[in-house]
Amino acid sequence: MPGALLIFRVPLQDLYALRNSLYRFMSILQNGYGGTLIGISNDAEHVPPLKTQPLLNVGMGMVYFTKHEDAKRFSYNEQSFMSADFLNNAEVFIVPVITPLLIGSQMKKGNQERPDHSDYMSADRRSNRGKAEQMNHGQA
């Protein structure tokens, strides 16, 4: 079963109302529907589903559900949430997610502060990085 993202696109003046509603419903989202709040942002990029907006004066809230059906159930059944004032001017999208990816989760042993992103570099960049390190050590 694929998961789903529930994306709320609201005008900036409704962003705090969206945030407060999502925080108020977090327990129901997590325990009743398996939802996880990904985040709320006032800095949206000009990519789908935002491509139709002439100006990006919108904010977004995103909730991830492990099952697509749970996202639908939440949007249809939670009338107290879905009748909130900010939804009068909002657009709500349910986006299927086949395989969620966890990026940057590997940590170097001994250095728990920074993730090790070397696994994500291309082989070409790794070889260039190794050459640069060799040159720097040779000059020292």
pLDDT tens digits, the chain, 140 residues: what are they?
588 999 888 888 888 888 888 888 888 889 999 999 999 988 766 656 556 656 667 888 999 999 999 988 888 887 777 667 777 888 888 888 887 667 776 655 555 554 444 444 445 455 555 555 555 555 54
What H or E segment, with its residue span, contains residue 7? strand 3-11
Q: What whole-number distance in Å separates Cα of residue 90 and Cα of residue 82?
A: 11
pLDDT at 91: 84
Distance CA(59)–CA(17), nearest Å, equals 11
Written as one string, the DSSP assignment of 26-53 is: HHHHHHHH-EEEEEEES---S-TTSTT-
CATH 2.102.10.10 fits 3-97, yes or no: no
Please report where in the chains the tokens 């107290």 appear, as a residue.
Answer: 80
Asked if 56 and 50 count as a contact pair (C-beta separation under 8 A), the reply is: yes
- pLDDT reported for residue 76: 82
The C-alpha atoms of residue 88 and residue 5 are separated, in whole angstroms, by: 20
Distance between CA atoms of 94 and 74, rounded to whole angstroms? 11
